[in-house]
Structure 1
Amino acid sequence: MSVTIDITGLPEDRLLFAPSPLAELNAMLHALAEPAHHPALHGWVTSTAAAIPAELSERLLEADFLWRSSRADFLVPGLPGATLTEELDAVDRIEDELFVAGALITTCGSSRFARPTASPLTDPAANERARDLALARGPRQAAFADRLLADPPAVRALVRRMLEDCASVFFADAWQRVLPALAADARRKADLLARRGLAEAVGDLSPSVSLDQGADGRRRIVIDKLQDSTTSGTAAGGVTFIPTVFGRPHLLAVHARGWRPVLQYPVAEADGSDPVSLALVQQRLEALAHPVRLRLVRTIARGPHTTGELADAWQLSAPEVSRHLAVLRKAGLLHTERRGRYMLYQLDLAGSARLGSDFLEALLR
């Protein structure tokens, strides 16, 4: 599963690497709304939430579905500006229909509003459907959708004032701290594109992003995500890549029709750890789903064992154990070490821990 951006025939000078104040503010608001997604930001979230005035906090709560689960596309600019004010001015120039579609993606939980057959601002059936979907998401979403559909300019003005208030309360200081790292990362990616080509630059974004140059002559940027979506950077006139500090671990892709494709990617962490692909996660889960392999893993989690020791411990044949160990090893869950004529198998504790602390604790219990 993936998000695919077709860039066939797109000149490389149409690929833009740049930091965005609005996109980083969007990431911060998401972290405040969903702190469990961002354990590394616990200190910042706690101190920032405590410093936000109650009145602003209430307004953020009313609008948090613009960034809580899905993100409104207009909060991730396709053409980043130098300042938050510049980017908010660009949002003000978006036509009402496109703004409403972007907001309804988050309010109604339906990406189909990114590709409407009719505008809910002018079509009664689309309007009713938007309200029904919003109502299913709860009274706050329903109230927001009602206000947005009844008076888009008023809601747009309220959203802008709220974001400007965030800038004065917490965003401006945080932005100044992270901007040097974001700008440096964007320059590095642009330099890689110029010196070593698109595949190198795209690969440096994240191990979850790659360039597919198909036998049919088409070129596609493929983003490893648990969804299936396609869009065209060629038709949109370009693709934008925005580095983020506060957005980690999310790899946010704007791929709706009518918007320039954007990928907001986390800058590399100091410890150099890379995300694991969805394919490898699925392979590990499938390897551990077999009851025999789970028993073997539980045994070698306590220390290195040979094939013969594992066979004796679980009353299995050595060839059967070898076959199961091969599956676990291929999934990257085992280390091997040779001692004389013996091959010892040991669990990769760091890799297993990334599947979840509950899993690792159950093994070691």
Structure 2
Amino acid sequence: MSVSIDVSRVGTEDYRFSPSPLAELASAIHLLVEPAHHPAQQGWVAAVAASTEPHLLERLIDADFLWRTSRADMFLPAHPGTELADELDAVDALDDELWVSAALLTSSCGTLPLHRELGSPLVDARAREVARERALARGPRQLAFVDFVLSDPPRARAMMRQLLEDCDSAFFGELWRRLRPALAADARVKHDLLATAGLPRMLEVLSPAVTTDKAATRIVVDKLQDASTTAGEAGITFLPSVLGHPHLLVVHAPKWSPVIQYPVTAGDTSASTTAIDVIEQRLHALDNPIRLRLARSLIRGPHTTADLAEAWHLSAPEVSRHLAILREAGFITSSRRGRYVVYTFDAIVAARLGQDMIEALLR
């Protein structure tokens, strides 16, 4: 399953790479309301929770579907601003119908289905019903928030901006000042790589989960839903994110320019996510009792095919077939010692499998 973006009419100058304070703030809030997705950030989450006014954290929970399992499209700007205030001003410029749709039907950047046939909940009864059903599934507080947005959009919008500004003052402003140089550097690297090596190579470095078709006219992002959109002359925007790791978010809803928020590691310029097809290949490689026996022997030290055949009472051709599958999955390497070929198991690859799988599932 994937999200496909037609970029056949996008010129090189229309690929935008830039950090976004609003997008990173939304990622920070996601960390606070869904800390289980980010075990490596537990220290930061605990520190913020301990130092932030409890009432502010409670206000985030009221509208948690804006940033828990999905992300409102308006929080990933196609034209990032220099300061958070600039991007909040751009959000304020949206009309009420589009703002309410983005706030209450947050499914473009998530796993929920995107109802392209629905209008704004302000004017479409079915859209309003879907928004209330989703909120009700989360709890009475979330339903009360949705009803408040539907009944008084101007007040709800003012309250949302104030909430984001309060988060900026409480915990995000100083963090953004530390993260921004690394994000800006990564954006420059990706921009230069596109110019010098082309789109397929840039995407290969950006994330194993983002590729192109053979003609390089369509960007394909591995996601848990099938969808498509067209970049057109408006171009496409790439937002680097440290706090968003391992998530890979794609804005593809109608009326929104395509945006990809991709994960980077602070101090590094490459994403660490592993393609899900590689994870599937590795799980398949271990889903066999004979290959598990061979792995048990090899993780203890190098062995030849003959050694393994004798130890497990197998034929040499049978051992060779299973070793080939383990090697293609990246679990073993081979080297020649005189006239013998010895095989070694890579324990680091095996140790990473669980974390890689979690990151791929959360992407």
Q: Same fold (TM over 0.5)?
A: yes
Alignment of 1:1-365 (within 5 A): 1-106=1-106, 110-113=112-115, 115-214=116-215, 219-234=217-232, 237-268=234-265, 270=267, 274-356=272-354
Query: Secondary structure at 1:346's aligned position in 2?
Result: strand
CA drift of 1:175 comes to 0.8
CA drift of 1:169 comes to 0.8
Q: 1:262 to 1:109 in 2, by over 3 A?
A: closer
The 10-residue stretch of structure 1 (50-59 or 333-342) with the greater mean CA deviation from structure 2 = 333-342
Asked if the contact 1:97/1:121 (under 8 Å) is kept, the reply is yes
Asked if the contact 2:118/2:124 (under 8 Å) is kept, the reply is no
Residue ranges of structure 2 left out of the alignment (5+ in a row): 358-363
Amino acid at match of 1:352: A
Amino acid at match of 2:260: L
Query: Secondary structure at 1:354's aligned position in 2?
Result: helix
Asked if the contact 2:237/2:259 (under 8 Å) is kept, the reply is yes
Per-residue CA deviation, residues 203-225 of structure 1 (Å, 9 max, x unaligned), is: 332233233343xxx70122233
In structure 2, what is the Cα distance between the partners aligned to 1:17 and 1:319? 51
In structure 1, what is the Cα distance between the partners aligned to 2:292 and 2:181? 46
Asked if the contact 2:179/2:266 (under 8 Å) is kept, the reply is no
Query: Secondary structure at 2:300's aligned position in 1?
Result: coil
Amino acid at match of 1:178: L
Query: Secondary structure at 2:80's aligned position in 1?
Result: coil
Amino acid at match of 2:351: A
Task: Count matched residues.
Answer: 354
Query: Secondary structure at 2:225's aligned position in 1?
Result: coil
Q: 1:282 to 1:270 in 2, by over 3 A?
A: same
In structure 1, what is the Cα distance between the partners aligned to 2:111 and 2:320? 47
CA drift of 1:54 comes to 1.3
Query: Secondary structure at 2:16's aligned position in 1?
Result: strand
Per-residue CA deviation, residues 120-178 of structure 1 (Å, 9 max, x unaligned), is: 22233332233223323333332222222222222222111110001111111011111
Output the aligned Cα RMSD.
2.5
CA drift of 1:274 comes to 3.5
Amino acid at match of 1:135: L
Q: 1:144 to 1:109 in 2, by over 3 A?
A: farther
Q: 1:273 to 1:242 in 2, by over 3 A?
A: closer
Per-residue CA deviation, residues 68-124 of structure 1 (Å, 9 max, x unaligned), is: 1111111111111111111111111112222222222348973324x2333322233
The 10-residue stretch of structure 1 (272-281 or 250-259) with the greater mean CA deviation from structure 2 = 272-281
Per-residue CA deviation, residues 288-320 of structure 1 (Å, 9 max, x unaligned), is: 112222222233222222222222332222211
Q: 1:68 to 1:117 in 2, by over 3 A?
A: closer
Q: 1:304 to 1:270 in 2, by over 3 A?
A: farther
Amino acid at match of 1:18: S
